[in-house]
Amino acid sequence: MKRKILPLALLAGAALVSLAVQAKVPTSLKSVDVTLPESTRALPDGPGVDLVHDNCLACHSAGMILAQPTMPKAAWEAEVNKMRNVFKAPIDAKNVPAIVDYLTAVKGPK
Amino acid sequence: MQNQAFISKALTRRRLLGQAGIAGLTALAAPAWAQTMVTLPLPGGPGERSVTTGFPQKGAMILQRTRPPLLETPFEVFDKGVFTPNDRFFVRWHWSVIPTSIDVDSFRLNVHGHVNQTLSLTLKDILALPRVELAAVNQCSGNSRGFFQPRVPGGEWGNGAMGNARWTGVRLKDVLDRAGVKPGAVQVRLKGLDTPPVPDGPDFMKSLAVDHARDGEVMIAYAMNGEQLPLLNGFPLRIIVPGWYATYWVKMLSDIEVLDSPDTNFWMKTAYTIPDTPHADMKPGQADVKMIPINRLNPRSFITNITSGTTIPAGKPAPVHGIAFGGDSGVKRVDFSADGGKTWHATHLGKDEGKYSLRRWETRFTPTAKGNYTLMVRCTNNSGEAQPAQANWNPAGFMRNIIESTPVSVA
């Protein structure tokens, strides 16, 4: 007897769940067209700031740099090399030292 | 159709410009959409962040980065319920080229690779498949990275790079079965519509073992909390990998490739790897650590109704409550301590929404003596894993789940 009741109860439960879902969840999707905001944050002035503008901000806004913790020069060097070698940021090798110096000046130990 | 899209875009722009003009009169320095500031208590700083309402389909969010968007859920949202509203759900993108317009009639999900039959599915095809639903926590691998000491570079999140939703969609298994996975398949690689802005940048792709992809729980979701997904949370389709970190939950899913050899792409082999050690813990600078792809969520719990530095009246029972999740095995228990972890007692657990969901817990704390107290909360999951007393460390800032401490004073 119990065996017969249990599946029925389960079925009823499943029906309730699926009804609840059908009542809430869309049965079709609507096209979406949005606009993403532009960043308004500026990098502080300093030697090399133009290089950072030209080489870093194509992939990410300035806020990414400004939110980073204080890191020593070696860590900034590793970051710039990671962006260049791994994420393929088109940074000319000759510009790497100046970019690292700027980042260390802005976000390095004081 | 195209004309309509153009007009609606032009109107949106004009409206935005109009708002900027009005706001510009009152606050010249601040952007129109940066409303207030918050300070995340990140050791060594900087913790100041804007709270923005400037992103489409999103409410007030902590602005971690504008492009590509990183938006954090303000922590007070988690006090309001175990399901995170879609417009407050955190956002994280790797590459900045994100389609801002999705046409539901022309969108296709392609399935190819080591299959009997390649598929190009419309959204109608997908919605016609059997519908499934489950509640699951979606947490960024780097949630709470900003609390790592020593600090590590990356998205400097507080604790709000997580959310919980009721996801509705179809089983990845059902889609794979329609294509017919060939013998010898080892992984299923998932890719979305986002692309790098640089020519050689590695496309963001994540892979799951074939058996995992076909476990009947991994889902292609088209709705969260009963509504279609916000674009920034992956509209129109997102992979749901219950109990696993959000890196696998590929957004704007457009491409499924069945592989007959292990995926060695950058985002699997190099990025999102963790030390193969308890709690993914290692020492800064430690060499020869075996690294493996990040995988299961670990358990966490938080107090949501009392913040650090709160004053609580002595001699009165103070209600304490919050949220917990058990990772991939559900919350077994949540214990509370008011003495910095010396003694613990079990809290009362709220409604069970399923083993992958956030779960509410609550208790009471009646301090008799005045002074300083450290409130702590500790989740143990159904696999027996409890949150650790010591913080883990790894160079990417992944999988933080230390027992949280909330210092309060009793007066």
Residue A13 lies in a domain: no
CATH number where A97 lies: 1.10.760.10
* ipTM for this prediction: 0.89
* Structural domain boundaries, residue A97: 49-107
Question: Distance, in angstroms, between B5 CA and closest chain A CA?
Answer: 7
Q: Are residues B229 and B319 in the same domain?
A: no
Q: Are residues B355 and B283 in the same domain?
A: no
A60 with B65: Cβ contact below 8 A: yes
Q: Are residues B397 and B324 in the same domain?
A: yes
Residue B74 lies in a domain: no
Q: Are residues B283 and B372 in the same domain?
A: no
CATH number where B242 lies: 3.90.420.10
DSSP A77: H
Is residue B284 within 8 angstroms of chain A, CB to CB? no
Q: Read off the pTM.
A: 0.90
Name every residue whose Cβ is closer than 8 Å to that of residue A37 and which is 6 or more positions away in sequence. Answer: B31, B33, B52, B54, B55, B66
- Helices and strands per DSSP (H, E), number in chain B: 5, 27
Question: Distance, in angstroms, between B318 CA and closest chain A CA?
Answer: 36
- Helices and strands per DSSP (H, E), number in chain A: 5, 1
Mean pLDDT value across chain B: 92
3-state helix, strand, coil in chain A (%, to 5): 60, 0, 40
| B33: confidence class by pLDDT, cuts 50, 70, 90 | low
* Structural domain boundaries, residue B280: 109-293
- B370-383 confidence digits (pLDDT tens): 999 999 999 999 99
Residue A62 lies in a domain: yes
Question: In the listed set B293, B309, B341, which residue is the last one of a domain according to the structure?
Answer: B293
Q: Are residues B159 and B280 in the same domain?
A: yes
A33 with B12: Cβ contact below 8 A: yes
Q: Are residues B140 and B264 in the same domain?
A: yes
Residue B333 lies in a domain: yes
B65 with A70: Cβ contact below 8 A: no
Question: Distance, in angstroms, between A62 CA and closest chain B CA?
Answer: 8
Mean pLDDT, residues B36-42 = 96
Domain count, chain B: 2
Q: Determine if the peptide bond prior to B41 is cis (ω within 30°).
A: no
Q: Are residues B257 and B359 in the same domain?
A: no
- A78-105 confidence digits (pLDDT tens): 999 999 999 999 999 999 999 999 999 9
Q: Are residues B166 and B279 in the same domain?
A: yes
